[in-house]
Structure 1
Amino acid sequence: MADNVEILNKESEKNRVFFRFVGQGEKFPKEDIEDGVVSWLLWRIWKNRNEFVFQGRDYDVIATVVKAREDEREWRSREEVKKDGGQTAPKEEPVRRWRPPPPTWIKCNTDGAWNKESRDGGVGWIARDHQGNLVWAGARKLSNMRSALEVEVEACRWAVQTLSGFGYTRVIIETDSLMLKRLITKEEAMWPTLQPLLQEISLLMAENRGFEMVFAPRSGNKVADRIAKETSTFASFVPKLYSVLVWLSSLVESEKSLYEL
């Protein structure tokens, strides 16, 4: 009985924190607290409560908001299919091949992979020159990650930190996370839980004015995506830097040859 009371007290406190979060609209991205998603937030809180009580799983506020929006989008997509009898084909992500940077620049693609159950993450990045040749690449496994976006931010932070430390001055950081790009370019308000990491990235990029960030679909980010996914399965958490990427050389050469066609 005492255990049940403690669980419910914890859940009540979490809900109070959540509603304080929703009430502070000026501190969070508008798209995450719009009126249309309130019912989905309440539904997600109820599901979180059940998972916490019966499975011991706990979710923070950011993860709850993101999941609520995913629930809403999934429901809307199903309703649209029902309306037209399932005749509408699902929208496909635009296909875009990787393209090298201009001469004297390097392009660094970053990506992250996240396991929701274990909360382990893998980050990967690869920097290439204007001929598509590997300059540097990084792979690192992370633990206790709270969201996929946090892993994406960590991948970007490590890449910018490493390349600026190596003295590179003209770097295009390319990510397939549109939210990350918007946060760094200040198109979206900073999320408080990610603020220290985002501020570090912004400061490093401000100090190195030749650094810029762009968005590309995942089809143009295949090598970084592969590194991140492979890294998330590593047993070791020791960061790894590569000047030769033997285990992905075929994929790197494939993207290079596709550009040259």
Structure 2
Amino acid sequence: MHENLIRTLLFYARVVGRFNLFYGNNSLAVQSNLIRRGMVLEDTKCLVCQRIDEDGCHLFLKCKSGKEVWKELNMLEIRGKLLQCNGVQEVLDEIWRLDERKCVEIIAMWWIWWNQRNKIREGGEKVAAADLAYRARCLTADCLEFCKPARQDITFLPAKWEPPDAGFLKFNIDGSLKKGNYHGGWGVIVRDEEGHVVSAAAGGADGIHDAFKAELKALEVAIDLASSLGAIRVIFETDALLLMYAMNNPSVDFSPAAAIIEDLKIQCRTWFSKCSIFSCKREVNGVAHEFAKIGALCTTGTMKVWESDVPADIAVLVIGPITCILYIVK
């Protein structure tokens, strides 16, 4: 595994179990530790389930609400084995016996669960167990992909936008999120095999609670735009790995966005003879990102569409088969 990932695994495994009893480590800011440090709290109960006092063992293994996440990940049996361990070292030994994916998935789930607990502490809403499990799976996929050893026979070229094959249209998409008011924007730019702009669009939408929903909205609009253009061979390119994984997953999606994701999958299969969804580096997707920023400034339901004659007062595009740069004109 990658060295940084190993450090992460060790750190988060270290906070599980009865570490207070075995190592006297009181660094984790659970309720019982805060009381021990002299802080005055009205309640020491678990912030998530509100049942019993919160310590590391309860929060990460015993919590009734957390158990639902273990269930969604099909790891109740593993959880049971960890609960039988006597101390951190046994917990670690049990985890390292698992295959790499399960090992990383547990740590990813703990990371997301700790963040969820902290958001609840700050007055945030509880997130469904299915959603937390989905995020854990996506984070696991990202970690494993990041830690793959690089093939020695590959020469890595500088990041650049590449035109699609002849007969295809490439749709670069991006979403933008304004924190605090659940308003976001999306941007789409369409180019042909010669790098010429066929169309571009930007708009705003409410109900955008996170970055993934903003990216999902951008794809939804891009599919509609492709249909209106009469395109039958399309490539959708995004810098959102989670979106790419969700759309290319042959299994039925069970996340809170499942209905939208499955509907978009059906549209892609129905409307296009060939359809691919790829991910790219963020710098390659710069043009779509700038359009998404324009979209975030639009009111809900407002949509701006440009055809090949993009107005100079909006943007000047320099596009070729190698590079693509967007300059916003104020």
The answer for unaligned runs of 5 or more in structure 1 is: 1-7, 74-93
The alpha-carbon deviation at position 63 of structure 1 amounts to 7.0
**1:238 counterpart (284, 294, 302):** 302
Match of residue 126 from structure 1: 189
Q: 1:228 aligns with which of 271, 292, 311?
A: 292
> Are the aligned partners of 1:174 and 1:213 in contact in 2 as well (CA < 8 Å)?
yes
Deviation (angstroms), 1:18: 5.7
| 1:142 maps onto 2:205 in alignment | yes
Residue type at the aligned position of 1:213: I
TM value normalised by structure 1:
0.71
The structure in which a higher percent of residues are helix is: 1
Q: 1:45 aligns with which of 106, 111, 116?
A: 116
TM-score w.r.t. length of structure 2: 0.57
Partners of 1:41 and 1:65 within 8 A in 2: no
* Contact 1:32 1:66 (C-alpha < 8 Å) held by counterparts: no
Superposed CA deviations along residues 132-181 of structure 1, whole A, max 9, x for unmatched, are: 11111121111121221111111111111221233211111111112211
User: Aligned runs of 1:26-65 on 2, under 5 Å?
Assistant: 34-52=105-123, 57-58=124-125, 60-61=127-128, 62=131
Q: Which whole-Å CA distance do the structure 2 matches of 1:31 and 1:181 have between them?
A: 22
* Letter of the structure 2 residue corresponding to residue 216 of structure 1: C
Whole-angstrom CA distance in 1 between matches of 2:104 and 2:127? 15
Decide whether aligned partners of structure 1 residues 64 and 58 sit closer, same or farther in structure 2, where only a CA change above 3 A counts.
farther
Query: Are 2:88 and 1:23 aligned?
Result: no
| Corresponding residue number in structure 2 for 1:76 | none
Match of 2:278?
214
Using a 3 Å threshold, how does the CA distance of structure 1 residues 42 and 184 change in structure 2: closer, same or farther? Answer: closer
Instruction: Measure, in 1, the Cα distance between the counterparts of 2:285 and 2:103.
Output: 26
Larger radius of gyration: 2
Q: Which has the higher contact order (CA 8 A, sep 6+)?
A: 1
In structure 1, the residue matched to 2:216 is 153
Query: 1:39 & 1:186 partners in 2: Cα distance?
Result: 24
Q: Deviation at 1:236?
A: 4.8
Q: Does the 8 Å CA contact 2:69/2:133 hold for their aligned counterparts?
A: no
1:24 maps to a residue whose letter is E
For structure 2, which runs of at least 5 residues remain unmatched after alignment?
1-44, 51-62, 75-100, 143-156, 325-330
User: How far apart, in 2, do the equivalents of 1:95 and 1:58 lie?
Assistant: 42
Structure 1 residues 180-239: Cα deviation after superposition (integer angstroms, max 9, x where no partner): 111111167624211111112111111112222122111211111111122112245312
**Structure 1 residue 66 displacement after superposition:** 4.9
Corresponding residue number in structure 2 for 1:166: 229
Distance 2:296 2:102 in 1: 30
Secondary structure of the equivalent of 1:140?
strand
Give the equivalent residue in structure 2 for 1:78.
none
Q: 1:197 to 1:136 in 2, by over 3 A?
A: same
Q: CA RMSD in A?
A: 3.6
Structure 2 counterpart of 1:182, from 209, 231, 245:
245
- Distance in 2, matches of 1:236 and 1:194, equals 20
**Count of residue correspondences:** 223
